[in-house]
């Protein structure tokens, strides 16, 4: 994420909040959502990983920050640009409320475990969310046929 000085900041670093000016977390969240939309819209990606991740100081208030309006904005970009949303078992994200909006909008999904040992390949949360959403194979990400994007 772009810091106050324009340099890239890893939001999980201890000093990240000061470097990206998170004094007003709601205003920052609006910028964070716009950043999600920009990545989905402009980067050549098929799957958006760790969808709806938040910095540690905000995770306890997930629903306060990931409002339906914000979720719909990210989901609309994903649907428009045919980018699947990862259901991450490693991060236990997105939460069900986010996923329900995404499914209703026609988003596609993939499963992931965040690729870190010892939880690599463990998909319990992904499968739990798939059951809760009643996902079928038509809801899942598949590669486009050769020559199509």
**pLDDT, tens digit (0-9, with 9 covering 90-100), for 34-93:** 999 999 999 999 999 999 999 988 999 999 999 999 999 999 999 999 999 999 999 999
Q: Can you give the length of the chain in residues?
A: 149
Q: pTM of the predicted model, to two decimals? A: 0.90
pLDDT tens-digit profile of 90-132? 999 999 999 999 999 999 999 998 777 777 778 999 999 999 9
CA distance 36 to 45: 12
Structure tokens given for 8 = 């890239």
What is the Cα 13 distance to its own chain's centre? Answer: 19
């Amino acid at each position: 994420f772009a810091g106050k000085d324009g340099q890239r900041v890893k939001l999980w670093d201890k000093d990240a909040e000061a470097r990206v000016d998170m004094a007003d977390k709601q205003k920052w969240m609006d910028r964070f959502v716009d950043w999600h939309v920009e990545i989905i819209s402009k980067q050549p990606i098929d799957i958006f990983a760790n969808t709806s991740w938040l910095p540690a100081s905000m995770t306890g208030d997930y629903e306060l920050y990931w409002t339906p309006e914000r979720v719909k904005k990210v989901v609309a970009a994903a649907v428009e640009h045919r980018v699947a949303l990862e259901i991450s078992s490693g991060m236990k994200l997105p939460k069900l409320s986010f996923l329900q909006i995404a499914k209703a909008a026609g988003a596609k999904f993939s499963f992931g475990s965040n690729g870190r040992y010892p939880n690599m390949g463990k998909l319990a949360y992904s499968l739990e969310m798939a059951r809760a959403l009643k996902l079928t194979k038509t809801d899942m990400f598949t590669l486009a046929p050769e020559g199509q994007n």
